Amino acid sequence: MPTRPGAIPPVRLARQSGRVIFRAQQRMQDSRAASSERQRQSVGWEADRALLVRLRAGDEAAFAQLVRENTGRMLAAARRILRSDEEARDIVQEAFLLGFRRLAGFKGEARLSSWLHRIAINASLMRLRARRCRPEVAIEDLLPRFHEDGHRVDPGPAWSPSALAMLESDETRALVREKIELLPEDYRNVLLLRDIQDLDTEETATMLGITPGAAKVRLHRARQALRGLLDPYFSPAEE
């Protein structure tokens, strides 16, 4: 049957309707997912509040539950920063003891697990700082140098594909860790929290007591410096 002038052809109408229906279904799915996530978070906050009441009442089972549910994540965080199982275990014990002493002042503005996680990271950073008694190299000495026109003075060769594949090996990871240790503390800590601990910029800034902007700048410079320290190991060998 011929289409009336100005009318939308049936095939086109069907396609448009299909897209509208698809978008409507997608919005419904997104809405359900968001609702489910809010419900899950709400349940988590309610469970935290109930657990906190029991902890403040001195319930030993509540303390055991808190330790059981959070030890694994805190241990992993401390181990990634300190690279020592023994020290990581010590830090987790210290973090729990410190957390228990601070329970009375805990305002519930964060989840208990997040609060304990931050305590463990802070304690790990303090332990890391106490290890070091050597003078630090200035970050400027490790950064690439640039001409006035913006080009690098010594750009260096690109890393070879085989070198990039080596990044997956345990030996190479140990080398990267060794070079991270050479970075000045302010830059090393940002790199550890962002690239090793996988915290976001806001969390990293809060942990270090700096602004998010400062955290981004330090991270960029730390990555540049680390790249320079690793260049001799991953650049193609000259023939």
Listed by start position, the domains of the chain span 48-131, 139-234
Question: Tokens standing for 48?
Answer: 């935290």
Rounded to the nearest 10°, the torsion over CA 83, 86, 87, 91 is 120
**Rounded Cα distance, 62 and 227, in Å:** 46
User: What is the fold, at CATH topology level, of the domain defined by 139-234?
Assistant: Arc Repressor Mutant, subunit A (1.10.10)
Mean pLDDT of 181-188: 86
Q: Each residue of 34-77: pLDDT tens digit?
A: 455 455 555 578 888 898 899 989 899 999 999 999 999 999 98
pLDDT at 9: 58
Provide the percentage of residues in the chain whose pLDDT is more than 70. 64
Q: Please state which CATH class domain 48-131 belongs to.
A: mainly alpha
The answer on pLDDT for 140 being more than 60 is yes
Question: Tokens standing for 194?
Answer: 């962002």
Of the listed ranges 149-153, 179-183, 189-193, 205-209, the one predicted with least confidence: 149-153
Of the listed ranges 53-57, 104-108, 130-134, 161-165, the one predicted with least confidence: 161-165
The per-residue pLDDT of the chain, averaged, comes to 77
pTM value is 0.59
pLDDT at 37: 46
Mean pLDDT of 72-86: 89
Question: Tokens standing for 171?
Answer: 């030996």
